[in-house]
Structure 1
């Protein structure tokens, strides 16, 4: 079934749908990972985005329940050069097309993803539309221009958990006050801005009972759970477009150790009084080089973000730069000089990606001891 991809600047690409009919809008971005498409698809940080894979063959190892990083597919649409309909892997329980169809998400193949990626790298990530229903180029470009985009938009409310839950050996279970959580000496409250399950798995492996709360939970409620530490998760969209959460984080500073990842890093920076800005085409992949300025070591990291902290807007007497991106020198990690709070812009929990930065979870546990 023929499909068209139109960008707001008037550029149009053609392909075919391998999941059926449909039409959707979103910010069109690219991911450079050679594998990990299922974890990517289920990462809530991709809410509001149409993702194109730079690796040309996608779907060859199928899908399975264990590799889901949230309760559903989160991307708006998925673009590949070539889709493999006959996967071969001992863990596979189904096809990529079946997963996308289950959640009503368009999958498009036959697209010149190299040309699409080069265009986004040159011009920047932008609003777009994917459709099998409307193939008129002018009509699609007009729709793309009218779509909402990401700047100033609160996407976190669309992906956060509706009710609190605890993390157990069987996965998420409804509950509060750590009742039934995986046993351990440390109690962690994780604020869900769009978290990935592997973050909770890694905390549990380190002896943490984990209580997950929705993004709108206030500071008094969080502190009333008497945690040993507070975890700020990743999530989608513009950190400046999420009302209320900055005040909550400010009220938590200095009360308990805080560890933030990705959007959690940006929100901590805003709570410190800093500002964020939109990157030209973002960092999305599993091969981003980051230098830890506190140790001098270089890590290869998994990343997925389109916004970044502006270090020039943070007070250097209060906030220390701890990590930088070696491709563009952007901020990849900060820590507060007075409060026990630190954060990184990348995804140390991998899933998918390298394990170079798992030590950060150990650093969080050490802060709680």
Structure 2
């Protein structure tokens, strides 16, 4: 007889957010293997009578239906990048500060843990809440559970404001930069390297492309009160046929991170102008998201959490909410600099701060 599938551990959502973080991190959920964690989340929420729970693939949605005048969407992804000898988790102290170490602790299961605890505990929040925990964020866009959900169940995206639990050290980071990837292609003519003057070296021609990149000065662009720093970098280069052949093609792979004051189409047009005279192939491009801090719920949230809102330099799924007309911010525990790193970790005080901030806002305690 075939072996029966091993059930995932039960989630105790009455435990501390730190303990929930550890439990869900120890349920390995590398992209493509999110089902055990999704199963555990679905089972844990089944006992919450105040939540209407829906599952689409390995994405779990839980909604309050209190008839409130405002609704927020609070989301987090449950997948991680591959494990590299950094599970199971462990506690450690660095320079007097306590951390939980291991894959997914920062990106972004600590944020998911806080959300799960509050979803279970807050039976009558001050506003209605749609909680979303989705799969496929760390891989190709067409596998993103949030995108799949938006296409199949757009009704679940009715909301006035959204929060994504990406790691921000429990600070508010508004919007996000857009991103575009292109190949700038140079052409030449093959020849034997012993008679190189017969050919034209495509790799040598790429020097002009690299000179443009080296001369680029990153722009700092203010958008709705936040300053986004742009970046334009070669992230790969390929060319060459053999050790004795002059290459006839070279590709410089370039990533452009642009402020959300321009669209992806405008960013691509800029790149075509910048590399005018060269062949440009667009690999992909995605709009960023404006800060979203002028929405009334965003302002209430900012007051409840306190501190100064910062820009999000990387692209995140807040752009998906923004594209749907929902202002969105990033807010979660964890230092983004440790995300995907082998020594990924999250400070315990950031988990607690994030929980306190969301709880204060959702209970109306700051009003």
Per the normalisation by structure 1, the TM-score is: 0.30
Higher strand share: 1
The structure whose Rg is larger is 2
Higher helix share: 2
